Amino acid sequence: MPLTGTGAIVTPAAEATRGVGAFNVIQLEHAQAIVVGAEAAGSPVVLQLSENAVRYHGALAPIASAVLATARTSAVPVAVHLDHATSPELVAEAVGLGFTSVMFDASALPYEENVRATAAVVERCHAAGVWVEAELGEVGGKDGVHAPGARTDPAEAAAFVASTGVDALAVAVGTSHAMLTRDAVLDFGLIAELRRTVPVPLVLHGSSGVADEHLTHAVEHGMTKVNIATHLNQVFTGAVRRTLRDHPELVDTRRYLGPGRTAMAAEVTRLLRVLKAPTA
Ligand code: G3H
Ligand code: ZN
């Protein structure tokens, strides 16, 4: 199955009121776990690399090339997305490397500046056939800041989509990034209103803090792309920690990263079912 356009995965899922899992990659093992997990579920998936992860690696191309190659050899449709990019230069590099979509995150800027910066990125990305997600109503929790009280205004969201031409919109409905407990309280009424008002698929960020049944309800109320990173890192790291605790003699990284990758793949499969992901 070739690398697949993000819109070709997300648009039909939105029409069918189903969820698309968008899971973050830091190491190559994350990409492998996500693809193996999606293949076991028989569902399409989005692999995403954040600007922060790129900063960790020191460059986009090496990790992106590995992620794109992993996507290209998958048995299910896989999109490759640049997540939380604030740099238009990084967006341009991702487009050049073959990413199928980008999230341009100007949500920390005042509304008018967010519109101006996002519209310019959309114009360049669309010229290259690349799908664009943006955010309105900053979802807190990045870099340690918690702001679960932020909310996206439906009328402003519709105006933002019309002025920028974005293909999907990340909205603030009660989540916060990097939560280690799954007890976020979602505003399902607002999700349903946003779904009615906003003409493009909705994206839920900070979904690690959301319990299984609320993830399912979020999809049923109109969320489509569901971003999960921290929770999968908890599963990966938990397996690595147990392995090293039980086998302190290990030095070969494959012997402890392998169990982390296997545990994460199983959780990806389970989450895709929770999200009512379509079958490919
Ligand atoms: O863009 C990525 C996500 O919003 C992931 O957030 O680490 O809280 O699951 P999370
Ligand atoms: Zn996010």
**Tens of pLDDT, residues 81-133:** 999 999 999 999 999 999 999 999 998 889 999 999 999 999 999 999 999 99
- The per-residue pLDDT for 144 is 38
User: How many contiguous H segments (helices) and E segments (strands) does the chain have?
Assistant: 11, 8
SS percent in the chain: helix, strand, coil, step 5: 50, 15, 30
The answer, yes or no, to whether any atom of ligand 1 lies below 6 A from the CB of 208, is yes
Tell me what the mean pLDDT of segment 132-137 comes to. Answer: 89
Among 181, 227, 267, name the best residue to mutate to test ligand 1's pocket (greatest count of ligand atoms within 8 A of Cβ): 227
- Asked about 153 being catalytic, the answer comes back as no
Distance CA(137)–CA(119), nearest Å, equals 17
Over 211-269, what HEC string results? CHHHHHHHHHHCEEEEEECHHHHHHHHHHHHHHHHHCCCCCCHHHHHHHHHHHHHHHHH
Residue 64 has pLDDT above 50, yes or no: yes
Tell me what the mean pLDDT of segment 15-34 comes to. Answer: 98
Compute the distance from residue 143 Cα to the ligand 1 centre, in Å. Answer: 12
Mean model confidence pLDDT for the chain = 95
Q: Six-digit token pair at 280?
A: 């490919």
The answer, yes or no, to whether any atom of ligand 1 lies below 6 A from the CB of 230, is yes
Residue 206 has pLDDT above 80, yes or no: yes
Which residue type occupies 225?
A: K
- Cα 142 versus chain centre, distance: 14
- DSSP secondary structure code for residue 208 in this structure: G
Q: Per-residue confidence at 136, pLDDT binned at 50, 70, 90?
A: confident
- The per-residue pLDDT for 149 is 77
20 and 76 Cβ atoms separated by less than 8 Å? no
- The per-residue pLDDT for 145 is 37
Residue 141 has pLDDT above 70, yes or no: no
Q: Per-residue confidence at 142, pLDDT binned at 50, 70, 90?
A: low
266 and 63 Cβ atoms separated by less than 8 Å? no
219 and 4 Cβ atoms separated by less than 8 Å? no
Compute the distance from residue 229 Cα to the ligand 2 centre, in Å. Answer: 8
- The per-residue pLDDT for 57 is 98
Residue 148 has pLDDT above 70, yes or no: no
Atom 2 in ligand 1: residue holding the nearest Cα: 227
The answer, yes or no, to whether any atom of ligand 1 lies below 6 A from the CB of 207, is yes
Number of neighbours of residue 246 by Cβ within 10 angstroms: 10
Question: Which residues, in sequence order, are CB contacts of 280 under 8 Å at separation 6+?
Answer: 1, 42, 43, 44, 76, 77
Question: Which residues, in sequence order, are CB contacts of 62 under 8 Å at separation 6+?
Answer: none
The answer, yes or no, to whether any atom of ligand 1 lies below 6 A from the CB of 24, is yes
Q: Return the bridge partners of 43, or none.
A: none
Catalogue all structural domains in the chain, each as residue range(s) with its CATH number: 6-274 (3.20.20.70)
Q: What is the percentage of the chain residues whose pLDDT exceeds 90? A: 91
User: What residue has token string 């569902």?
Assistant: 43
Which of 73, 105, 81 minimizes the C-alpha distance to 20?
81
Which one is catalytic: 83, 105, 153, 187?
Answer: 83
The answer, yes or no, to whether any atom of ligand 1 lies below 6 A from the CB of 25, is no
Q: Six-digit token pair at 89?
A: 């230069």
Distance CA(118)–CA(159), nearest Å, equals 13
Distance CA(170)–CA(57), nearest Å, equals 26
Among 115-124, 148-157, 256-265, the range scoring the smallest mean pLDDT is 148-157
47 and 67 Cβ atoms separated by less than 8 Å? yes
